[in-house]
Homo-oligomer: A and B are copies of this chain.
Amino acid sequence: MSIRIGILGYGNLGRGVECAIKQNSDMELSCVFTRRDPSLVTILTDGVNIYNTNDILKHKEEIDVLIICGGSATDLPAMTPKYAKDFNVIDSFDTHANIPQHFANVDAAASEGKHVAIISVGWDPGMFSLNRAYANAILPDGKDYTFWGKGVSQGHSDAIRRIDGVLDARQYTIPVEAAVEAVRSGSNPELSTREKHTRECFVVVEEGADKARIEKEIVTMPNYFSDYDTTVHFISQEELDRDHKGIPHGGMVIRSGVSGWSKETKHVIEYKLTLESNPEFTSSVLIAYARAAYRMSKEENYGCKTVFDIAPAYLLNMTGDEMRAHLL
């Protein structure tokens, strides 16, 4: 019998989950929930019902795992604890500083409702966190570095769009190659924010807009750009649509550490992602952890979990024998 997945929220992430289900023969899409009018939403899979989120409890028995595809700012802090009472749930909560509070809220709800909730699933937090954990366990004496990009930051692109005279924008975060090489060498450099990443912006402005003023507003914007070396390119909407439609992302987690009686031996562990689509990759991770949530709920191992609490075997549609024969 397939694992029946429910998708809550049908944007880029929800659509990515829908695509990922198709690649996993032990899963099926049960239904999709939306806050919009369901008759106005079209999905890719034939014969699957779309319901309004208000009706979700009526469909409780049709769903083994509910994947909550909402934003971390306001959606997930409310939604994940709410739905963890009635469903096994997965979310991609990524506000690092608020994870302890979110974990506590979700754990209380999931434990009470006897469900499994896995939070902060994706690539950062998620696969990057796992790689930090493994590398820290192996090399307790070392230093972690995380680089992001080259990739599109939606938050930074949005910040540029809010500037007066800007029609559209796309912002890329780019790791500084010299910093990456210094880290790979094992020299454990101290790197400032400016030394680690640059920012490149492609901006479409209104006819006759003051480009000098807009460029200055971008590069001096606190929190977003002022701590970085930022390059601004003014381009046409056609160029933006043609060359910058994708949402690629990725990055690296590197730990450089030492071993030996006198700490005389250096090692470097690097994990690198090169992703053509940030939401589709995140969705693929969510679906693998949905399998784990389903299995852990069968074992009555309830409560809130993160990627740290889940043995890799739970993620794979393979038996232990197959894993040992083919992957070990």
* B-side contacts of A327, CB under 8 Å: 129, 132-133, 136, 308
Distance between Cα atoms of A137 and B26 in the complex (Å): 12
Taking a contact as CB atoms closer than 8 A, the residue among B138, B268, B284, B291 that contacts A285 in the complex is B138
Within 8 A of B (CB), among A50-93: none
Distance between Cα atoms of A274 and B272 in the complex (Å): 14
Taking a contact as CB atoms closer than 8 A, the residue among B99, B134, B325, B328 that contacts A325 in the complex is B99
Answer yes or no: A267 CB below 8 A from chain B CBs: yes
Distance between Cα atoms of A140 and B186 in the complex (Å): 33
Cβ of B138 and Cβ of A328 under 8 Å apart? no
Cβ of A261 and Cβ of B19 under 8 Å apart? yes
Given the known A-B contacts A100-B324, A129-B327, A306-B328, are A138 and B259 also in contact in the complex, defined by CB atoms under 8 Å?
no
Answer yes or no: A35 CB below 8 A from chain B CBs: no
Taking a contact as CB atoms closer than 8 A, the residue among B260, B267, B309 that contacts A313 in the complex is B309
Answer yes or no: A323 CB below 8 A from chain B CBs: yes
Give the interface of A toward B (CB within 8 A): 16, 18-20, 22-24, 44, 96, 99-100, 103, 120, 125, 127, 129-134, 136-141, 184, 186, 259-261, 265-277, 280-281, 283-285, 288, 291, 306-313, 315-317, 320-321, 323-325, 327-328
**List of 3 A-B pairs having minimum Cβ-Cβ separation, nearest first:** A137-B315, A137-B288, A259-B280
